[in-house]
């Protein structure tokens, strides 16, 4: 930079020059403060990303709390459902032999069975196979327990009073179906055999034959006491 | 002045929420920046453009990174805003601006003789600056008002070092020639 350039620079700087108006200064400085304050406000606990995070957390908590409750409610049939199922006309593919009254051991085993989470939905399945499958695991819901109790109390040996007249067979049938759908453990063919013998002793020959057929179907390899078919002839 | 906080530190403080840091920064640069704008676009638009530049600085504070000096960044914003103004107005940068001479001197009759001569020179200088080609005027103002080096002028205006140096050289040469005409009169 030459001396002349320095002189020109000095002369220019001596001129000073205009400054921005005070109002403009105030407006700009005010804007600068406002921007910072807004930023601070945006950083408060209830602004910015916090509401979204809190909402997500709330949804998760509610889901975690409600879903098991709803599931449980879904798995519990209405109070009338066991009766409806018991009176349903549909016959199971293979009727399970009733367990109630077979032996005190079996009955105790059934009623003492530990509750299981998988039991309620399986209990609603029709047919003896499911009853066999679910028998060792048992029940968790109140309605299932009620059903179990009902079936346990029901006896094929008619220990309790049964209605007479035209309602009698319907009543018996419903009780039997309730027993069929109950998760009793018909653990052994020997128990089935004992049940058939008891039916024979009661003179329920048709039913005993039916039970025998079912026994053969379920346990084709089991050698049935030859006296039973003899008695049923 | 060695203890003075740098512009870059002040801008970073402001971007972290320190409004006082911005005020210090503003007081440092308001005069030069205002004149840089005023002498290129005239008083009619100067205030609006000047305000927009600072608002742009405020709004860009969170994106501010120290890549060059704060001044380079500030004057790049100013230059962009001026370019935008020319595009909107469909005009070229002003070559002669009577407003830029408005605040030069007091009335001549109240000044002693040596001051009168100085004042006359200043008036001539301002007229000469106003008459410079836009690129040369810009380079001159960046040097004299913003106190930028040739490197920084090149960076701010997006030209090579040689081009920036050349613009400055021509600007000074023309100004010198204009001032010499005073002595001839």
Model confidence pLDDT, tens digit, residues A118-167 = 333 333 343 444 334 434 444 444 444 444 444 444 444 444 454 555 56
Q: Which of A:29-68 have CB within 8 Å of B?
A: 29, 31-33, 35-37, 39-40
Q: What is the pLDDT of residue B33?
A: 94
Residue A35 C-alpha, separation from nearest chain B C-alpha, in angstroms = 7
Contact B82, B40 (CB under 8 A): yes
Q: What is the pLDDT of residue B155?
A: 92
Instruction: Report domain extents, chain B.
Output: 1-94, 105-185
Q: What is the pLDDT of residue B133?
A: 92
Chain A residues with CB under 8 Å of B54 CB are 28, 31-32
Predicted confidence (pLDDT) at residue A182 exceeds the cutoff of 60: no
Contact A32, B23 (CB under 8 A): yes
Q: Which residue has the higher pLDDT, A233 or A45?
A: A233
Chain B residues with CB under 8 Å of A9 CB are 143-144
Output the average pLDDT for chain A.
65
Instruction: Report domain extents, chain A.
Output: 70-186, 188-233
Q: Tokens 């108006």 sit at which residue?
A: A21
Distance CA B139, CA B148 (A): 9
Across the interface, whether the CB atoms of B144 and A12 are under 8 A apart is answered yes
Structural fold of domain B1-94: Rna Polymerase Sigma Factor; Chain: A (1.10.1740)
Instruction: Compute the average pLDDT of residues A224-232.
Output: 85
pTM above 0.80, yes or no: no
Model confidence pLDDT, tens digit, residues B30-42: 999 999 999 998 8
Count of other CB atoms within 10 angstroms of residue A132? 18
Q: Tokens 């290129």 sit at which residue?
A: B40
Q: Which residue has the higher pLDDT, A142 or A43?
A: A43
Q: What is the pLDDT of residue A138?
A: 41
Across the interface, whether the CB atoms of B55 and A28 are under 8 A apart is answered yes
Distance CA A185, CA A212 (A): 18
Q: Tokens 């105030």 sit at which residue?
A: A26
Across the interface, whether the CB atoms of A32 and B175 are under 8 A apart is answered no
Q: What is the pLDDT of residue A1?
A: 64
Q: What is the pLDDT of residue A171?
A: 58
Using DSSP's 3-state secondary structure scheme, residue A126 falls into coil
**pLDDT grade, residue A218 (50/70/90)?**
confident
Among candidates B173, B171, B185, which has minimal Cα distance to B121?
A: B185
Across the interface, whether the CB atoms of A17 and B17 are under 8 A apart is answered no
- Checking ipTM against 0.85, whether it exceeds it is no
- Average pLDDT for runs of 10 along chain B of length 185: 79 89 93 92 89 92 83 93 86 54 44 66 86 93 93 93 95 88 66
Mutate to test the interface with A, among B12, B17, B102, B124 (most CBs of A within 10 A): B17
CATH: 1.10.645.10, 3.40.50.12780, 1.10.167.10, 1.10.10.10. Which one for B105-185? 1.10.10.10
Q: What is the pLDDT of residue A10?
A: 86
């Amino acid at each position: 930079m030459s001396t002349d350039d320095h002189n020109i620079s000095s002369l220019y700087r001596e001129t000073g020059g205009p400054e921005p108006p005070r109002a403009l200064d105030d407006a700009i400085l005010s804007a600068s403060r406002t921007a910072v304050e807004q930023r601070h406000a945006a950083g408060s606990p209830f602004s910015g990303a916090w509401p979204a995070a809190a909402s997500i957390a709330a949804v998760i908590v509610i889901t975690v709390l409600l879903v098991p409750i709803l599931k449980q409610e879904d798995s519990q049939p209405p109070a009338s459902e066991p009766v409806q199922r018991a009176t349903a006309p549909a016959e199971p593919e293979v009727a399970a032999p009733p367990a109630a009254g077979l032996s005190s051991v079996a009955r105790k085993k059934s009623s003492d069975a530990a509750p299981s989470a998988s039991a309620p939905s399986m209990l609603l399945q029709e047919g003896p196979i499911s009853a066999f499958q679910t028998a060792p695991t048992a029940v968790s819901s109140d309605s299932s327990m009620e059903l179990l109790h009902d079936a346990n109390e029901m006896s094929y040996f008619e220990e309790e009073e049964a209605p007479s007249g035209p309602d009698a067979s319907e009543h018996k049938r419903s009780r039997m179906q309730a027993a069929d759908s109950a998760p009793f453990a018909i653990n052994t063919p020997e128990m089935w055999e004992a049940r058939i013998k008891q039916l024979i002793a009661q003179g329920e020959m048709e039913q005993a034959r039916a039970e025998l057929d079912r026994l053969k179907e379920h346990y084709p390899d089991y050698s049935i006491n030859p006296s039973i078919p003899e008695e049923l002839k | 002045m060695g203890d003075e906080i740098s512009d870059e530190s002040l801008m970073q403080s402001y971007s972290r929420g320190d409004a006082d840091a911005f005020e210090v920064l503003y007081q440092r640069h308001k005069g030069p920046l205002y004149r840089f704008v005023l002498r290129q676009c005239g008083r009619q638009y100067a205030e609006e453009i000047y305000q927009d530049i600072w608002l742009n600085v405020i709004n860009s504070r969170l994106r501010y990174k120290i890549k060059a000096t704060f001044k380079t960044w500030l004057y790049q914003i100013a230059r962009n805003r001026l370019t935008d103004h020319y595009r909107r107005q469909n005009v070229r940068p002003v070559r002669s601006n009577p407003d830029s001479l408005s605040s030069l001197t007091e009335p001549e009759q109240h000044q002693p003789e040596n001051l009168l001569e100085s004042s006359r020179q200043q008036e001539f200088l301002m007229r000469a600056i106003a008459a410079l080609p836009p690129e040369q005027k810009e380079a001159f103002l960046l040097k004299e008002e913003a106190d930028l080096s040739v490197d920084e002028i090149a960076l701010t205006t997006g030209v090579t070092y040689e081009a920036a140096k050349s613009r400055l050289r021509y600007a000074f040469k023309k100004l010198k020639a204009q001032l010499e005409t005073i002595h001839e009169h």
